[in-house]
Amino acid sequence: MKIVIFGANGPTGRQATEQAIAEGHTVTAVTRRPEEFPLNDSRLRVVGADVLDPAAVEHAVAGQEAVISTLGVPYSRNPVTVYSEGITHITQAMAKHGVRRLVCVSSTVLFGVPAPGETFFFRKVLEPFIARTIGRSVYDDMRRMEEIVCDSDHVWTIIRPAGLFDSDAVSDYQVATSRLPGRFTSRADLGNALLREAVGDRHVGAFVDVRTTVGVPSFLDVVRKEAFGGRK
């Protein structure tokens, strides 16, 4: 397939790009800093563009068969609009060029229910604190993004991973349309889940949780490395 990936230079975007190329797909990787993009392949086209620029987004979407959005920003007390503005431009470009398949990333927090089997402290104190204070502006804009996607006429899937961490390879991860047990999702697994959805139609019109079950680091290790880095 011909797949365009927005946010391709983030850790998840690079995973999705590399895996798509390895499977023989033709990938357009969209990033604001194309000179920093580390991958190179005959099936890869790297495009320098800002998702907030509708003309640049339209140019990237033209001729594609599927769109993957891995947009991500750090937690901030300031208003966040990248998710909603970016997906607005993406869906408008898709409509103009007749591209139907859309897969994007939000967060497991948006399921609005606690993770099954989680401790009282995590369920009632820690996660609500993150969601309602330091992460509030990010999650608010993710909700706006999801509403825009759901209201569109596209063939969409929204993946809601848990806390993200780096790993060396794709694992035998879990997928469900409800919130799964566990706190973390590896970027390799998330990239693979994004690709599986983009090239198939298993979870059309659904919110999908992806959860890594083996090789998961400790909570403190992940928070220390990831919480404020915006490493989507």
In the predicted structure, residue 232 carries a pLDDT above the cut 70 = no
Contacts with 217 (C-beta within 8 Å, 6 or more apart), sequence order: 165, 184
Confidence of residue 200 (pLDDT cuts 50, 70, 90): very high
What does the buried/exposed string (b/e) look like for 32-66 if buried means 16 or more CB atoms within 10 Å of the residue's CB? eeeeebeeeeeebebbebebeebebbbbbbeebeb
- In tens, the pLDDT along 44-84 reads 999 999 999 999 999 999 999 999 999 999 888 899 999 99
Among 72, 81, 64, residue whose Cα is nearest residue 107: 72
Q: Summarize the confidence of residues 125-154 as an average pLDDT.
A: 92
Q: Output the pTM of the full model.
A: 0.92
Written as six digits, the tokens of 81 are 């609009």
Torsion of CA 172, 177, 183, 187, to 10 degrees: 50
Q: Summarize the confidence of residues 215-222 as an average pLDDT.
A: 72
Among 157, 196, 155, residue whose Cα is nearest residue 174: 196
- In tens, the pLDDT along 148-172 reads 999 999 999 999 999 899 998 999 9
